[in-house]
Amino acid sequence: MRISLLILLVCSSVSAQYQTLFQSGDFGYKCFRIPAIVGSGSKLYAFAEGRKGGCGDFGDVDILLRTSSDGGENWTEPKVVVDNGNLQAGNPTPVIDMLNPEYSEGRLMLFYNTGTQSEWETRSGNGRRKAFYKFSSDFGLSWSEPIDISNEVHFDRFSSVEFADARTFALGPGHAIQLARGSKKGRIYLPANHSLGDPQENFADYRSYGIYSDDFGKSWEVTEDLTAPSSNEAMAVELPENELLLLVRMQNNRDHSKMIARSLDNGTSWKEYELVPELTSPVCQSSIIYIPKSDHLYHLGPASTEKREQLTLWRSSDRGRNWNALELIESGFAAYSDIIQLSSTKLGVVFESEDYGKIVFKQIAIKPTD
């Protein structure tokens, strides 16, 4: 990794709260992976994949939920919310819809994708990926039946809407967003990615894009693809004045940093995209949030360029143009993550730790002006 980054890091506070939310080997799951977290007030909802056969992506994979009613101090026992039989249900991508007039108290929405074959087999033209969501109007106690949106957002050989020879398909992972301001207030927005056509060297068949709904999930549209080859897992963040950013993982194991794509029309099209040298990274998902009061962005991800380790919190004070390393959250192994604002002085982070042995939750202090 770049030496300059090490100079900028500040050791994390000893007082930061650290809790294990999912322990591999518990509840009949050999491995837990792919955390996501959303919240409303003091209520928090932490999701993860429970993988029964091991840590591999494909197989018998369920999605589980733990909830907290006191801002993360205490958590319920894990509950299975998606079970796709002996096949995969993965990439939990939740959002809380607070603007739908049909649900005055709000509702919790969970998006996910399924698969019938491994990623390689799907890239090779075998198997099928699909997209679904479920929702809970009592914030996690009970759930709707799955709603299939595949035909509107994934244009594979089974699509009756469009054909783009899309093969793999994945959402997020990490939290989705609902636009809270601007001309498309209420829009539900999720990053997605797919592979196009036969497998290519350095994963050049992958492209990131977005899916969105302007009627609270009743119908769906897709954005244009990023033209960047190997753009893959992403997370979205809303900025003022109809601006939206995608923080993008590059799959090629060559760029060693994150890409940021910038939209000026609420994520419908892309004005620009570029690699961000400050955001050093191995091939790994990472997470991002925007805090309107301070007008700051925070990015969380492993900073090493070769290994999934050195989980670092970065901050941008100019809406993603420049970044500074703020705090080292975990010096050893750390991989996928998600991040949430708990208060004006505190962030909550969930991340994979100890070689996928557990998913942990930490509270991180920030200054109100940060």
Determine the Cα–Cα distance for residues 269 and 217; give it in Å rounded to an integer: 20
Task: Tell me the average pLDDT across 91-103.
Answer: 97
Convert the pLDDT of each residue in 145-199 to its tens digit. 999 999 999 999 999 999 999 999 999 999 999 999 999 999 999 999 999 999 9
Q: What is the pLDDT of residue 230?
A: 97
- Cβ–Cβ under 8 Å, residues 343 and 325: no
Q: What is the pLDDT of residue 368?
A: 65
pTM: 0.94
Q: Which amino acid is present at 319? A: R
Give the confidence band of 76 by pLDDT, cuts at 50, 70, 90. very high
What is the share, in percent, of the chain residues with pLDDT greater than 90? 93
Q: Please name which of 269, 251, 310, 260 lies closest in space to residue 290, comparing C-alpha atoms.
A: 260
Q: What is the pLDDT of residue 177?
A: 98
Q: What is the pLDDT of residue 293?
A: 93
Convert the pLDDT of each residue in 246-294 to its tens digit. 999 999 989 999 999 999 999 999 999 999 999 999 999 999 999 999 9
| Res 370 pLDDT > 80 | no
Task: Tell me the average pLDDT across 96-112.
Answer: 96
Q: What is the pLDDT of residue 6?
A: 38
Domains of the chain are 3-364 (2.120.10.10)
Catalogue the long-range contacts made by 306-315 (C-beta closer than 8 Å, 24 or more residues apart).
306/1, 306/282, 307/282, 307/333, 308/282, 308/284, 308/333, 308/334, 308/335, 308/352, 309/333, 309/334, 310/1, 310/334, 311/337, 311/351, 312/5, 312/9, 313/347, 313/349, 313/364, 314/278, 314/279, 315/370
Q: What is the pLDDT of residue 253?
A: 87
- DSSP letters along 31-87, please? EEEEEEEEEETTEEEEEEEEESS-SSSSSSEEEEEEEESSTTSS-PPPEEEEE-TTS
